Amino acid sequence: MRVLVTGASGMLGRRTAEALLARGDEVRVLQRRPAGIDGAAEVLGSVSDRAAVDRAVRGVDGVIHLAAKVSITGPLPEYVEANVRGTTTVVDACRRAGVGRLVHVSSPSVAHTGSAIVGEGAGPAQPEHARGNYARTKAQAELLALAADSPGLAVTAIRPHIVLGPGDTQLVQRIADRARAGRLPLLDDGTALIDTTYVDNAVDALLAALDRIEHARGQALVVTNGQPRTVAEVFSAICEAAGVPAPARRVPSAVAKSAGGVVERAWTRLRLPDEPPMTSFLAEQLSTAHWFDQRHTHEVLQWSPRVGIDEGLQRLREGFAPA
Amino acid sequence: MVTSARGTAPAQLPPAGLPGLRPEWSRLVEGRDAEGQVRTWHVLDTGSPEDSRGTLLCLHGNPTWSYLWRDLLARAEGWRVIAPDHLDMGFSERTGTRRTLAQRIGDVRGLVAALELTGRVVVVGHDWGGVIAMGWAESVHGPGSRPDGIDLDGIALCNTAASHPAGAPPPGPLQVATAPGVLPLVTSRTDAFLRTALALTHPRPPAEVQEAYRAPYRTPERRQGIEAFVADVPTGVHHPTQARLDELAADLVHLADVDALLLWGPKDPVFTEHYLRDLRARLPHAVVHRFEGKGHLLPEDADVAGAVLTWLAERGRERAQPGGVPSEYRPLWRFLEERADSDADVVVEVRGGDDGPSVRRISWRLLHRRTTELAAGLAAHGVLPGQRVSLLVPPGADLTAVLYACLRIGAVAVIADAGLGVKGLTRAVNGAGPDHVIGIERALLAARALRWPGRRIAAGPISDAKLRLTGATTTLLEVAEIGARLLAGRDPADVLPPEPDPEAHAAIFFTSGSTGPAKGVVYTHRQMALFARAMGQVTRTGPDSGLVTAFAPFALMGPALGATCVVPDMDVTKPRTLTAAALADAVVAGGSSSAFLSPAAMANVIATAGDLDAAQREALAGVRTLLSAGAPVHPRLQQRAKELMPLAEPRTPYGATEVLPATDISLAEVLAAGEGEGICVGLPLPGVTTAVAPLDADGAAAEEVVTTAGVTGEVCVRAEHVKDHYDQLWLTQLASTRVRAPQDLGVGRWHRTGDVGHLDEQGRLWIEGRLAHIVVTGDGVVTPVGIEQRAETVDGIARAALVGVGPRAARQLVVVAEANEPVARTTVAAPPLARAVRAATGRDLAAVLLVPALPTDVRHNSKIDRARVAEWAERVLAGERGEL
């Protein structure tokens, strides 16, 4: 199969492209800066650049669309541009080029409206009620991607939850950096259960979605390891893997949420380059359970995680170890 | 809704769309009321099914309407169900009259005639509908007469009353409602009465259901019937309905040959348990089920429809329960009679003091005399055979004497111990409904403050002023003196009432209440004797042997076994207060070589062993039999006990309040059994059969039991000394005996223990937890004890509880534990500890949480309330805050 992977500079995109190559697919990647993946043809450009995207989709059978702005702060227009316009551009380009399959990579946060998610399936994306700019724009993107599912173009949305793996700059590195700087508090007692996904499992699921798109089309599927853990344990385990001290400070989540909002607004207004230590979005994410019932996903994708969470953390530890 | 100026209005059909109500049930029926006037009723009627078994005639109370019975209408397969709205109520005709009880009974007769209803009828009633039901039942089922061609086939009543003492104020909230000037205001002018009735629900029904109850009562005119109903509650001797009610109560004797079911919500401020006790006395053959925690509007609070249908299906079968051949019966008081002239000790009480222990010795002669005096005195005081006597006296000679006195005269001893906690004790005593309470000052003050029922007799020394304060009418001392006067110079057999029948109820004990409210467990005299004999076997206690017992209930069994009981210096209601020194002093004082401790007592004996002097050490070293019961004791603890008492082989019988003992195991056998899934409690005792009822994927236990090794299920025990029944928990009793056993296991009475476990190849029983505590996951059923035991092998984990969180299909396992280094607040175990617990348990635990303390039962301080832990874990792991 000829497959385009957008956003291959991130950990999940890169690993997805590599896995496609490894199984013999012809791979093209699209991102702004060179990803340097051996064997993949590269198109440089933004996903909201119609010309670049048209070039990238030409002649492919399927697209795995990962490119997005992922952050916890920043002005809304930047998110709209990357996540909403980017997805529209990809969808339109697929239509024009007659691409048959589109795997849209989404996020469980599109359906998270603040209350705990305890062992549920994938709820509907809620652009109005999801929390924070990232989740809202991703919710919008997911809806418009799934709306494009049609006889000529099969579309599915895969929502991997908190992808962990060696070389991750999204979460693992941030947690490790913050912990090292002493800026990683635990909210309340850190007892909220959250799902995580080891990167190899997420990659498998994306490939399964591409292959079984006839079964998965028109719906959103959450993908996790199916092994929820407490926030405190996830943080501590990541810190342990990175060789930094685990968070010891406990902050009441109510305080964090209100303080987070203030910090977030100031940060955005001051256009500071770094990320704020706490945002109300982050406070909510870290103090509310969100873990999922994976039975439907397993059935539709005929996929199940190969790497258990403990082995995943072990690999993470090895990833941090000096070579 | 149109209502004329005179307050009359025609009957009508209910509006469409009321939840649970099918429009096709509703019809308007014309008939004649009590006075022969033509009236129209709104009636719910399912119509006759093919091969109809009969008709259920369901009468609602005030201020409800036939909507109350919708579940019964929907579910009563094979029965025709008819539920009318009384005149002036629901959607029936507004007559403009104020109807009385006598008229309402006549109205129902008129309606039944209009329906041309004949044949088998079971009448069901709630609240004032229950009163009308009784009145109607009497009217169609007189002594030897069937005036209306009705074959009365049963009567089922919920929260109602058969009588009200003339001149007594109306019950509870009705006092306010019937106060002058208040009545119309709360009942008809506003819908306060209606709203109050709906507010007495546990939990509140959905808003649409509450609306449906209000639907026929939207305007003051339409609520006139509610007002008239309340006005008909007798408020004085001259109230016209008082006489009719008295007549109705007296005539209940005519229903003695009619199957009766009493369903009760104890949290009813109007029809309190007083009325249940009264009904039980008037319908002694009735089967009774109290729905603990439920209230007045019982058909909304509890599954009344299910209970009625179960009763209809089971009532015949229950009578034909297999009993097996009864074994030889020896009354519990026989040894006392035989040894009336013996000066040997039967009870030895040891009290600690600065100058060494003081010892009170009671000889057989003294105990026999005291018991006989009390028996004669209590009988003279008016304690009748079959009446219940709550004994709130600490274990010791006094309790022993009064218990055997009660047993001898056929009174039923209610033995609720302080180990239930004040709340549990109150619930137990109230629920048991004693006719008499014999208690120490503190207990009687509580009885008075908490309004426990029963005439009070004070035990122990008490001043006249204090006596008045407790509301007691006499003291045990006076009772004994009266008894002594009656016995003077006469043969006790001529003074005492005849010995009770072996099948008569003897005593009520209570379960520990670790899974739900404590249940009363009724034993007959025969079963008590068998229980004593079985305990004697397992404790190796027989005539002339001595036993130090820090296990409160067992202290009472000594005289029945001909044995000497030694009560050590401790607060017997708090097993943890037994010290090693107190145990040793008791061993010396009683010259006994056996000790029977609860797990908590054993733990404290070991903890305080350092305070023993040389003589005390030597005394303990002479103990040959050491038993613990109530909960499993860790082999480590038993091993340390054995170090103090090297000649003893620690033994642990397993059983339940409903069947004690069932199995028995020694420490050596525990160690030989090794590791396994759960706790090995050994082989069944002679005469006992154990089996398991396998669990299905939902965690429900089957009716059929098997003895196949390795099959996990609910543990079922068959023994002669199984309880007779649960007190006023007919449905629970039914469920606890519902066992189908393969023929090769023989016949006899079974008890479902509520424990889960399995049998091994050697036939030993392993306990894996409580049925109520198993975790049902998408991958199957997980039992807690084995996993907990393996978690407790991890360094740092002192005591663990396994629970599940999340919806069933995705349910995750969680260990909540007390740490060896206690934590001050809930703490997520650090990854290395969590990994170690996962590795040890072999389970992918979503979390390992450390907490300051796990909740346990009051009596044994060892049964973890996993249901509470699970409920807490569910919240905390969802991100809510709060300590366990």
pLDDT tens per residue across span B46-59: 999 988 999 999 99
B796: left (phi over 0), alpha (psi -120 to 50) or beta: left
Distance spanning both ends of chain A, measured CA to CA: 35
Does residue A221 fall inside a structural domain?
yes
SS3 at position B142: strand
Give the mean pLDDT of B271-281: 91
CB contact A119 to B (< 8 Å): yes
Q: How many whole angstroms separate alpha carbon B784 and alpha carbon B792?
A: 12
Q: What is the DSSP letter of B133?
A: H
pLDDT tens per residue across span B640-692: 999 999 999 899 999 989 998 999 999 999 999 998 999 999 999 998 999 99
pLDDT for position B857: 73
What are the DSSP E strand ranges found in B493-589?
505-510, 520-524, 546-549, 564-567
CB contact A284 to B (< 8 Å): no
pLDDT for position A174: 78
pLDDT above 50 (res A55): yes
Do B838 and A310 lie within an 8 Å CB cutoff? yes
Amino acid in position A236: S
Enter the tokens of residue B578: 């037994």
A183-192, A302-311, A313-322: least confident range: A183-192
Tell me the nearest-neighbour CA distance from B809 into chain A, angstroms: 7
A112: chain B residues, CB-CB within 8 Å: none
pLDDT above 80 (res B705): yes
Q: How many whole angstroms separate alpha carbon B157 and alpha carbon B822?
A: 52
A272-276, B223-227, B637-641: least confident range: A272-276
CB B511 within 8 A of CB B656: yes
CB pairs under 8 A between A and B: 89
Does residue A43 fall inside a structural domain?
yes
Q: At what angle do helices B397-409 and B364-381 cross, to 10 degrees?
A: 50
Tell me the nearest-neighbour CA distance from A238 into chain B, angstroms: 10
CATH numeric code, B8-316: 3.40.50.1820
A294 lies in which domain range? 2-161+196-226+289-307
| Total number of domains in chain A | 1
| Nearest CB to A119; choose among B810, B830, B880 | B810
A193: chain B residues, CB-CB within 8 Å: 805, 812, 846-847, 877-878
Q: Which of B848, B849, B877 to mutate to test the interface with A (most CBs of A within 10 A)?
A: B877
CB B807 within 8 A of CB A293: yes
Does residue A251 fall inside a structural domain?
no
Q: Report the sign of the C-alpha dihedral through residues B592, B598, B602, B608, in that order.
A: negative
pLDDT for position A115: 85
Q: How many whole angstroms separate alpha carbon A34 and alpha carbon B219?
A: 79
CB B370 within 8 A of CB B416: no
Stretch(es) of chain B classified as CATH 3.40.50.1820: 8-316
pLDDT above 70 (res A65): yes
CB B403 within 8 A of CB B383: no
Q: Which of A230, A239, A255 to mutate to test the interface with B (most CBs of B within 10 A)?
A: A230
A236: chain B residues, CB-CB within 8 Å: 828, 830-831
Tell me the nearest-neighbour CA distance from A244 into chain B, angstroms: 14
Q: Options 2.60.40.1180, 3.90.79.10, 2.30.38.10, 3.40.190.10; which CATH number does B658-771 get?
A: 2.30.38.10
Stretch(es) of chain B classified as CATH 3.40.50.12780: 334-644
Does residue A279 fall inside a structural domain?
no
Do B831 and A240 lie within an 8 Å CB cutoff? yes
pLDDT for position A113: 84
pLDDT for position B2: 42
**Which residues pair with residue A197 across a beta bridge?**
A163
Which residue bears the tokens 């005291």?
B370
pLDDT for position A223: 97
Distant-in-sequence, close-in-space partners of B119: CB < 8 Å, separation ≥ 6: B54, B55, B149, B150, B151
Q: How many whole angstroms separate alpha carbon A142 and alpha carbon A135?
A: 10
CB contact A222 to B (< 8 Å): no
Stretch(es) of chain B classified as CATH 2.30.38.10: 658-771
SS (H, E, C) B761-801: CCCCEEEEEEHHHCEEECCEEECHHHHHHHHCCCCCEEEEE
| Nearest CB to A233; choose among B805, B847, B881 | B847
pLDDT for position B4: 46
The residue of chain B nearest to residue A252, with distances taken between CA atoms, is: B881
A107-111, B632-636, B681-685, B790-794: least confident range: B632-636
Looking at domain B334-644, its CATH class is alpha beta
CB contact B778 to A (< 8 Å): yes
CATH number at residue A97: 3.40.50.720
pLDDT above 80 (res B78): yes
Other Cβ atoms closer than 10 A to B278: 18
Do A293 and B828 lie within an 8 Å CB cutoff? no
Q: How many whole angstroms separate alpha carbon B754 and alpha carbon B511?
A: 12
SS (H, E, C) B174-193: HHHHCCCCCHHHHHHHCCHH
Distances (CA, A) of B651 to B498, B562, B622, B637, B753: 40, 22, 16, 12, 21
pLDDT tens per residue across span B106-131: 999 999 999 999 999 999 999 999 99
* Higher per-residue pLDDT: B808 or B461: B808
Distant-in-sequence, close-in-space partners of B810: CB < 8 Å, separation ≥ 6: A119, A120, A291, A292, A293, A294, A295, B778
Q: How many whole angstroms separate alpha carbon B198 and alpha carbon B301?
A: 11
Other Cβ atoms closer than 10 A to B232: 24
Do B847 and A193 lie within an 8 Å CB cutoff? yes
The values of phi and psi at residue A2, to 5°, are -100, 125
pLDDT tens per residue across span A190-219: 899 999 999 999 999 999 999 999 999 999
Q: List the one residue out of A159, A182, A163 whose CA is nearest residue A171.
A: A163
Per-residue exposure over B337-358, b if at least 16 CB sit within 10 Å of its own CB, e if not: eebeebeebbbbbbeeeeeebe
CB contact A192 to B (< 8 Å): yes
A120: chain B residues, CB-CB within 8 Å: 807, 810
CB B837 within 8 A of CB B794: yes
Enter the tokens of residue B845: 């635990």
Give the mean pLDDT of B690-702: 96
Enter the tokens of residue B28: 């308007």
What share of chain B in percent tops pLDDT 90? 70
pLDDT band (50, 70, 90) for residue B523: very high
Q: What angle do CA B552, B556, B562 make, to 5 degrees?
A: 135
pLDDT band (50, 70, 90) for residue B13: very high
pLDDT above 60 (res B544): yes
**Which residues pair with residue B653 across a beta bridge?**
B664
pLDDT for position A220: 97
pLDDT above 90 (res B190): no
Enter the tokens of residue A260: 């987070």
pLDDT tens per residue across span B199-256: 888 889 999 999 999 999 999 999 999 999 988 988 777 888 899 999 999 999 999 9
* Known catalytic membership, residue A79: no
Do A191 and B809 lie within an 8 Å CB cutoff? no
pLDDT band (50, 70, 90) for residue B5: very low
Q: List the one residue out of A205, A67, A70, A221 whose CA is nearest residue A135.
A: A70
Q: How many whole angstroms separate alpha carbon A305 and alpha carbon B178?
A: 70
A188: left (phi over 0), alpha (psi -120 to 50) or beta: left
The residue of chain B nearest to residue A232, with distances taken between CA atoms, is: B828
pLDDT tens per residue across span B288-341: 999 999 999 999 999 999 999 999 998 866 544 555 566 789 999 999 999 999
Q: What angle do CA A311, A316, A321 make, to 5 degrees?
A: 125
**Which residues pair with residue B16 across a beta bridge?**
none
Q: Report the sign of the C-alpha dihedral through residues B713, B719, B725, B731, in that order.
A: positive
Other Cβ atoms closer than 10 A to A149: 19
Tell me the nearest-neighbour CA distance from A230 into chain B, angstroms: 6
Enter the tokens of residue B857: 């039962």
SS3 at position B308: helix
Does residue A113 fall inside a structural domain?
yes
What is the fold of B774-876?
A: GMP Synthetase; Chain A, domain 3 (3.30.300)
pLDDT for position A114: 81
Does residue A269 fall inside a structural domain?
no
The mean pLDDT value of chain B amounts to: 91
Give the mean pLDDT of B171-196: 77
Distances (CA, A) of B701 to B353, B611, B711: 53, 49, 12
* Higher per-residue pLDDT: B777 or B187: B777
Instruction: Name the strand (E) or helix (H) holding A203.
Output: helix A199-211
Other Cβ atoms closer than 10 A to B94: 25
pLDDT tens per residue across span B575-627: 788 999 999 999 999 888 889 988 888 989 999 999 999 999 999 999 998 99
pLDDT above 70 (res A272): no
pLDDT for position A323: 44
pLDDT for position A261: 59
| Nearest CB to A190; choose among B811, B828, B878 | B828
Q: How many whole angstroms separate alpha carbon A280 and alpha carbon A45?
A: 32
Stretch(es) of chain B classified as CATH 3.30.300.30: 774-876
| Nearest CB to A293; choose among B805, B807, B879 | B807
Give the mean pLDDT of B759-764: 96
pLDDT for position B71: 97
- Number of Cα atoms under 13 Å in the Cβ half of residue B7: 16
Q: List the one residue out of B690, B678, B588, B731 whose CA is nearest residue B290.
A: B731
Amino acid in position B362: I
- Number of Cα atoms under 13 Å in the Cβ half of residue B430: 26
pLDDT band (50, 70, 90) for residue B173: low
pLDDT above 90 (res A50): yes
Does residue A200 fall inside a structural domain?
yes
The mean pLDDT value of chain A amounts to: 88
Tell me the nearest-neighbour CA distance from B853 into chain A, angstroms: 17
CB A69 within 8 A of CB A136: no
Do B881 and A189 lie within an 8 Å CB cutoff? yes
CB contact B838 to A (< 8 Å): yes
pLDDT for position B1: 43
| Nearest CB to A232; choose among B778, B828, B838 | B828
| Alpha-carbon torsion angle B435, B438, B440, B446, nearest 10 | -10
SS3 at position B344: coil
Does residue A42 fall inside a structural domain?
yes
